[in-house]
Chains A and B, each alone.
Chain A
Amino acid sequence: MKIRFRYSKLGKVRWTSQRDVARMWERALRRAGLPVAYSQGFSPRPLLSFGLALPTGCESLGEYVDVATTQPLDVAGLGDCISTLLPAGVDVQAVAGLPDGSASLQQAVTSCVWQLDVCAGSTEELRRQVAGVLSAGSLPIERERKGRVELDDLRPAIVRLQVVGSDQLAGQEFSTLLAEVLTQPRGVRPPELCSVLGAELWLARRTHHWIEHDGRRSEPLPIDAPQVRRWKDAS
């Protein structure tokens, strides 16, 4: 059986890497005594499959992991149980058993939405930059792939981009952007987006993953109302 968890990653824990997140899940599941299935071979690994990696330093309101188990399980109450075993800032928001033959997260997810807090002079200036990006025919950027620098076009991956607000923090003005970007064949990293906008990234928070299929959009695991439990910093 496969179980899909949706979880948040907020606060200080955003500085952990995707590998760190995988290890914290493995340990939490072992502590919970869940019958997780293991790979075969000399070094058996628990069969956990994460979707898109969340870059180190980014927050998220909706990350996903699929866990293979050796026997069917009742998922009721499982989310709260696992949440207490995960580090502060990582909270399970939804759990569901997956039907057999479900597509993997990597295959299914087609786009994701980022909320970006950036510093870019004035909001007006940023709006002009956004308009420029959206009207551009192509947005060439340099990317490193296997140690070689390659030229890529960012424009086809940008589905939606808009300035949704501005605020002040520590005496500095910042703007908030929403950006929906395609995840296939290759994702777009928030710093890449900011570089084409000429903006300095303060905080990137992924808000949604979307699966688009035959013109219909759905989330890998919907939640009624995102229950964001902010990690209270000990300050």
Chain B
Amino acid sequence: MTERVPQAPGSSQGKDVRSLWPRIEPLLARVTKPARYIGGELHAASPVHEPGRVAWLLLYPDTYEIGLPNQGLQILYEILNERDDALAERAYAPWLDLEALMRASGLPLFSLESHLPASRFDVLAFNLSAELTVTNVLNMVDLAEVPMRAADRTCEHPLVVVGGHCAFNPEPMADFVDAFVMGDGEEVVGELNQVIGDWLRSGRPSRGDLLKELAMVRGVYVPSLYEPRYEGGRLVGVEPVVPGTPERVEKRTVADLDAWPYPRHQLVPLVEVVHDRLNVEVFRGCTRGCRFCQAGMITRPVRERSEREVSRMVREGLAASGYDEVALTSLSTADFSGVEPVIEGVLDSAAGCPGAPPVSVSLPSLRVDAFTVGLASQIQRAKRTGLTFAPEGGTWRMRRVINKLIREEDLYAALDAAFSQGWRRVKLYFLVGLPTETDEDVLAIADLSKRCVEIGRRYHQNVTVVVSVGGFVPKPHTPFQWFGQDTGAEIRRKVILLREACRGARGISLRWHDPDASVAEGIVSRGDRRVGAVIEHVWRHGGTFQEWSEHFDLGLWQAALDACGLSLHDLVHREREEDEVLPWDHISAGLHRDFLWQDWQDAQAEEAVTDCRWTPCYDCGACTDGGLEHVVASPVPPAGGSQGTGQDIGDARVPASLVRGPR
């Protein structure tokens, strides 16, 4: 890979307010998918840049097709553009062909709405949802002609802000980011806008003062006001260096989703993107308690949107967008109290008008049971898409360890229902490299999959069970945050074991995620502030788009670790100790550390816990500390069979030490 020559950092003094379009357009004939750079989507804003408005550039550090559908970014985009003291535009990572042309002609990163230089904005706000996109953040800051390190920015440079799930371990990106925002953004974005707007209106006094002000906003972490302390190469604390700065940063949680019915006007792109459909979020948070799942842990408690509000958003969203597909999104949509009436409503309204186009409903994140398949077959009238289930572990023992409480009977019943209702191709997701995993657990994935094929062949001559295997990466703020991640070689050995076991088996199509990519993801996932230099090294040596298998290169990461004197073992593969300071201990996702530790002990003892929506509270901290409660319409678990919905989990028990009784 070639060395990347950084753009000369510019100053935004004497800001150029002219559109860069005349310089962009001549390049478009020479790049792939040029329409990614033109803007002009349905429901895109036409913001007016004027004094008194804080100008936000919302960025997604991956391609347009991946970034555009991001709901978090779209929600903030609308909320900001509705304010009379703010405006928001968007930018995505230019693909390598355009980036090369931009660097050759000195063209900076630009916004999509007005095609203005990124450095002309007051805030560059990134959504960081995937660890391996961190080098793209650096690349975009550099393309924006903004100094890469926060310490090198002056009052004239934009603030660089990061939100999204990866912000929950901010340390690896701490040197490059002015402020991180933890948790739901709906409310805090307005508070940030107020602080930044006041600072701009008072003539941009010191940047340091602005950062101190920002650090006082609940949910905001300003890394330059904190310093990590090391003893003997081991982190012993990340502590505020400025008096008055909070010692621990609490995440933000929006209590009532009905009060924030965003996006009201979802962006409809001109080019094809992933998840190209109307997306309506039906609830946020999940208490299934899968121990590997960071999203489920850090977004608690469960907050449902009302059935009425969901129905309205679906109806109006379809009419305004022209989409013929709506996805009801959440971490486990079959658990939504109103799932059946909402689906019936959509289908009835579509069937009610003669000649009305068929509308299909998709349910990402399916639960594994026959009820879910019933829902799926009912809704997929317009087009029959694939069915995907995620048992994650091959044996009941393994699934108890990870608390993914799917019995084999549940899985077989789901598959039977799917095949009997016409599906011939089903996808199963598994993780390998899980805590306590033995070869027996891995090989059981093959047995399970073969059994699924057998079930399918009762109904069809040819069936395909796609078995997709990923290497497990432990994530911060989960019970598995202490676990020593499997090495790339070990994951590879397990994948080969599985491949041998599936060899010659009819109907099974085995796929796996690059074990090396899981290793690099592990570096960023649980790294501390020293990892910042590693990320910068990878970027400087050409390592962008590391989420893309054709551009991923573990060699770059290994070389960067060597250059920085850090070890893969220490950062990724080493099991952490109980009293060890973790790099994100000063960030609170609402979960008590002792709850997570106890859950980690329970995992190793193969003890499962049930869903606290319908059973007593374990006092994980998400509700009690935030003064919140679950917002769930249904007083009983939904129909079905698995995962706390009335299943018998054998001798699994709720550890007595954690039960505090019903609140």
Contacts and interface: CB of A to CB of B under 8 A. Distances in A.
B272 A20 contact: yes
Interface string B416-445: 000000000000000000000000000000
A59 to B, nearest CB: 12
A70 B354 CA distance: 9
B271 A20 contact: yes
A56 B34 contact: yes
B358 A38 contact: yes
B34 A57 contact: yes
B460 interface: no
A17 interface: yes
A19 B272 contact: yes
Contact of A233 (B19, B29, B355): B19
A17 B358 contact: no
14 contacts: A13-B35, A15-B37, A16-B38, A17-B35, A20-B270, A23-B272, A27-B268, A31-B321, A38-B357, A46-B357, A88-B40, A233-B19, A234-B46, A234-B113
Given A44-B358, A44-B383, A12 B40 contact: yes
B270 A13 contact: yes
Given A15-B28, A35-B355, A20 B42 contact: no
Contacts of B28: 15, 57
B324 interface: yes
Interface in A160-185: none
A87 B42 CA distance: 7
B383 A234 contact: no
A31 B322 contact: yes
A46 B357 CA distance: 8
B319 A31 contact: yes
Sorted from nearest, which 9 A-B pairs have the closest CB atoms? A27-B322, A35-B355, A235-B19, A15-B34, A31-B322, A12-B38, A43-B383, A30-B322, A16-B35
Given A30-B357, A42-B384, A88-B40, A16 B114 contact: no
Nearest to B26: A202
Given A13-B35, A27-B321, A44-B358, 14 more contacts: A12-B39, A15-B37, A16-B38, A16-B271, A17-B35, A20-B271, A36-B355, A38-B357, A57-B34, A87-B270, A89-B40, A233-B19, A234-B114, A234-B115
Which of B28, B40, B268 has its CB near the most chain A CB atoms (within 10 A)?
Answer: B40
Contacts of A42: 383-384
Contacts of A15: 28, 34-35, 37-38
B58 to A, nearest CB: 18
Nearest to A191: B29
A27 B42 CA distance: 10
B241 interface: no
A43 B384 CA distance: 7
Interface in A17-38: 17, 19-20, 23-24, 26-31, 35-36, 38
Interface string B97-130: 0000000000000000111000000000000000
B323 interface: yes
A234 B382 CA distance: 39
B9 to A, nearest CB: 26
Interface in B11-28: 18-19, 21-22, 25, 28
A102 interface: no
